[in-house]
Structure 1
Amino acid sequence: MSSIIFSILGIYIFIAMGYIAKMSFKESIDDKTITLINVYFLQVFLTFWGLLIRPVDATLLFAPSIYLFISILILIISAVAAKKLFLDQKEYSVATVAAIIGNTGNLGIPLNIAIFGEESIPYTTVINLMNVFIVYTIGVYYYSRGSFDVKTSLKNIVKLPILWTAIVAIILSVYGYKPSQEIMKILMMGAYASITMQLFLFGIYLYGTKINEISKTLTLWVMSLKFIFLPSLAFLLLYSIELNSMIKGIIFIEILVPLAIANVNFASLYDCKPKVVTALVFISSIIFLGAIFIGVKVLTYL
């Protein structure tokens, strides 16, 4: 259990650094510039590294398929129901998509290693890959819709290099390409820089965010989707199917992880209430500190 706590709390070091940096230097730190560098450059390294570190095996695709099914079903329900609750287009975008974009990579992978061991890595890798496609298609579209029309939002999806990078990396992996150690070291440097910058950026946006000024309806909606509806649907589905208990547990934990910092990246990039999204990510991270222990106990029933 201590390894789980350490995996969760370890990421907060860089978040705290970002917060302190923004508090100390204020306007000298340009939030948007950091976002652009991370999204358009460093995350390209992260995508290549994550997808080439292990071969993508077709037999592993069952787990991400279940993850995708659960995410899309909740997205559809959310998109329909939120339309009646949130008249502001930006709030509607956040309410619809934020909960399904979870931190399956930076937190989900090390957390599953702590719970299930290194044999969980192939499954967490492909689930995180599925989440990457959700983030850079559905996520980009909805956050972009907060400020742009449908046509522009669709264009914004294809403009991002990460999606194309992921496609190239998958093709290379399927055809058996194995990068040399030297290339992997370069990719790893960029990948860790991206992860660190994402956490740092979260701390930057956290500074000056006033949680008490956020719509209580929006907060309750997103947190309910994230920690009640999503895990409940996941549990019912996983309980009803025949599957290895470890794989069930991995899927459940990846569904349960808090909102990803990628939400902040795109809310900032497309001017879709980045301060509000930052606060929601922070609130979900705090709730998760308690929810994870309930989630671990639930695993025994799957």
Structure 2
Amino acid sequence: MLLQSIQGVLVIIVMVAVGYYLASLHWFSESSKKLIAKIVTQVALPPYMIVSITKDFTKSELVKLLPNLWYPVLSMFILMGISWLVARIIQVDPKRHGLFMSMFFNSNTVFVGLPINLAIFGDKSLPYVLVYYMANTTIFWTLGVYFIQRDSSNHVQMNFKDALRKIFSAPLLGFMIGIVLIVLNIKLPNFLMSSFNYLGGLTIPLSMLFIGISVYDAGLKNMRFQKDNLGVLSGRFIFAPIIMALLVLPSHMPMMMKEVFILQSCMPVMTNAPVVAQLYDADADFASIMVTETTLLSLVMVPIMMTILSH
């Protein structure tokens, strides 16, 4: 398992390094970076979800799987409380208090979590990744955004319609379509499934290129290990996996599901955090730096976590 996890992480590092190198050659503008993110989330991920779920998922497995949604939800609510406490103890800058909390309890479950889990565990892990993703994306676009919004000096408000649109994103809709197809026992035509398969194949490499570009744009020289940064790092890589492990290890869920949930819990800060911070006039620079720091450190943390889990 350890060798498999190391090889999985090396695959990810190579693709991230390619993105970083191409960004250093100035191949990408800000608009092309946004285009890559849009292609991944709106073009590649939905068909990837449909193909993978209908291929590796049965109706009986669905009934067993969805009740486990409460594990990531509960863990994030516990982390929310811990984030408030840590922010008070280390006296986080009031201008980034809500952003700090949001980054503390939310994970990057798609751009980093999905490819890392697939590289380590294979396609069988996808349903477990998606259960965590459902909880994570819902909480980020409601409570996570609400906390970031509180840092705003201009009091921009996200309305209910916008929040719903963000929660029911293209990847989640792809997941839901896959579930409907399984429940109704509908088989899509081969030509359609093949098309979805090819489009879905873009997901992992483009996600990794995107991360490499983001790391280059944020600038490694901007990495700082000050108290606010260390607070977010403690949330992502210490508190999150410990809380999740305490919740899932005593349970009767499959071992792979336990490992996926623990890995998903300690993924980096969501790539949406700087975008939302910019929108609400919060500290977008701090969010960008934390995305970079946590993304780089996650590549070190994953082999460590897999070593611990394999014992």
| TM-score bin, normalised by smaller chain | 0.7 to 0.9
Could you tell me which runs of 5 or more consecutive residues in structure 2 were left unpaired when the two chains were aligned.
none
Could you tell me which runs of 5 or more consecutive residues in structure 1 were left unpaired when the two chains were aligned.
none
Mapped to 1, the partners of 2:170 and 2:124 lie a distance apart of: 29
Q: Summarize the alignment of residues 190-205 of structure 1 with structure 2, pairs less than 5 Å apart.
A: 190-193=199-202, 195-205=204-214
Q: Summarize the alignment of residues 8-87 of structure 1 with structure 2, pairs less than 5 Å apart.
A: 8-25=9-26, 29-32=28-31, 34-35=33-34, 37-38=35-36, 42-53=40-51, 54-55=53-54, 57-79=62-84, 81-82=86-87, 85-87=91-93
Query: CA contact under 8 A between 1:50 and 1:125: conserved in structure 2?
Result: no
Mapped to 1, the partners of 2:275 and 2:224 lie a distance apart of: 19
Query: CA contact under 8 A between 1:258 and 1:284: conserved in structure 2?
Result: yes
Deviation sequence 1:274-302 (CA, Å, 0-9, x none):
4433432332234334433442343256x
Query: CA contact under 8 A between 1:93 and 1:142: conserved in structure 2?
Result: yes
Identity of aligned pairs, percent?
21
From 80, 100, 103, give the equivalent of 2:105: 100
Mapped to 1, the partners of 2:258 and 2:171 lie a distance apart of: 29
Correspondence 1:217 to 2:227: yes
Query: CA contact under 8 A between 1:113 and 1:121: conserved in structure 2?
Result: yes
Deviation sequence 1:229-270 (CA, Å, 0-9, x none):
111212222344344433322322222333344445545666
Letter aligned with residue 13 of structure 2: Y
**Cα deviation, residue 224, structure 1:** 0.6
Please report the RMSD computed on the Cα atoms of aligned residues, expressed in angstroms: 3.7
Q: 1:151 to 1:129 in 2, by over 3 A?
A: same
From 103, 121, 129, give the equivalent of 1:124: 129
Mapped to 1, the partners of 2:156 and 2:88 lie a distance apart of: 16
Query: CA contact under 8 A between 2:40 and 2:202: conserved in structure 1?
Result: yes
Correspondence 1:296 to 2:301: no
Deviation sequence 1:180-237 (CA, Å, 0-9, x none):
3433444445544455444333333333525556471221101111111111212222
Task: Indicate the residue corresponding to 1:6 in structure 2.
Answer: 7
Query: CA contact under 8 A between 1:103 and 1:260: conserved in structure 2?
Result: yes
From 259, 264, 270, give the equivalent of 1:254: 264
Mapped to 1, the partners of 2:282 and 2:44 lie a distance apart of: 24
SS at match of 1:151: coil
Deviation sequence 1:151-183 (CA, Å, 0-9, x none):
336554245485366247515623534443433
Q: TM-score, normalised by structure 1?
A: 0.76
Query: CA contact under 8 A between 1:19 and 1:206: conserved in structure 2?
Result: yes
**Cα deviation, residue 70, structure 1:** 0.5
From 284, 293, 306, give the equivalent of 1:283: 293
Q: TM-score, normalised by structure 2?
A: 0.74
Mapped to 2, the partners of 1:115 and 1:18 lie a distance apart of: 21
Letter aligned with residue 212 of structure 2: G
Q: 1:45 to 1:83 in 2, by over 3 A?
A: farther
Correspondence 1:163 to 2:162: no
Letter aligned with residue 49 of structure 1: P
Q: 1:61 to 1:200 in 2, by over 3 A?
A: same
